Amino acid sequence: MIKDKLTELYNALKEDKTLASISIKSFERPETLSNDKTSIVIRPVGSPMQAVSGSDTSLAKVFLYQINVESKNRVECKELQRKVEKIMEEQGFYQTTGGLDEWIPEIKRYVDARTYKGRSALYEEY
């Protein structure tokens, strides 16, 4: 059976008590969510890529995801992104260079967007 890393990450974030009241979605923030509500969005940066090979076969995949935290409150944004970072580390993902950390006047929210890279275990099917 093929696994889905996006679903695994989504479930890991949803299971955390700190994030229970936060809207967590994949790909984009829900249009129906009020502008003053905090949200977390998981966005794949690309397709899973072959990482390790043996005997002319791919044995593992590399995944790259951007996690966006948006909030009216800058400190809340930082606290939530720190929690996301810990959960991502537990899932075997680590922050890469780049990202975004600013107030965006057009949407009237702070955005802390970070990119995380991780690899599947050997022989896992993704």
Ranges of each domain in the chain: 5-119
Q: What percent of the chain shows pLDDT beyond 90?
A: 74
Q: What does residue 50 show for φ and ψ, rounded to 5 degrees?
A: -65, 135
Comparing C-alpha atoms, which of 50, 27, 29 is closest to residue 38? 29
Task: Enter the DSSP assignment of 33.
Answer: S
CATH class given for the domain over 5-119? alpha beta
pLDDT(65) > 80: yes
Tell me the C-alpha distance between 90 and 118, whole Å. 11
pLDDT(112) > 80: yes
pLDDT(33) > 90: yes
pLDDT(53) > 90: no
What is the dihedral sign for C-alpha 42, 28, 14, 86? positive
Per the CB < 8 A criterion, the answer to whether 75 and 39 are in contact is: no
Question: What's the pLDDT at 98?
Answer: 84
E-strand stretches of 32-123: 39-44, 49-54, 57-71, 93-95, 100-104, 109-119
Say what the pTM is: 0.89
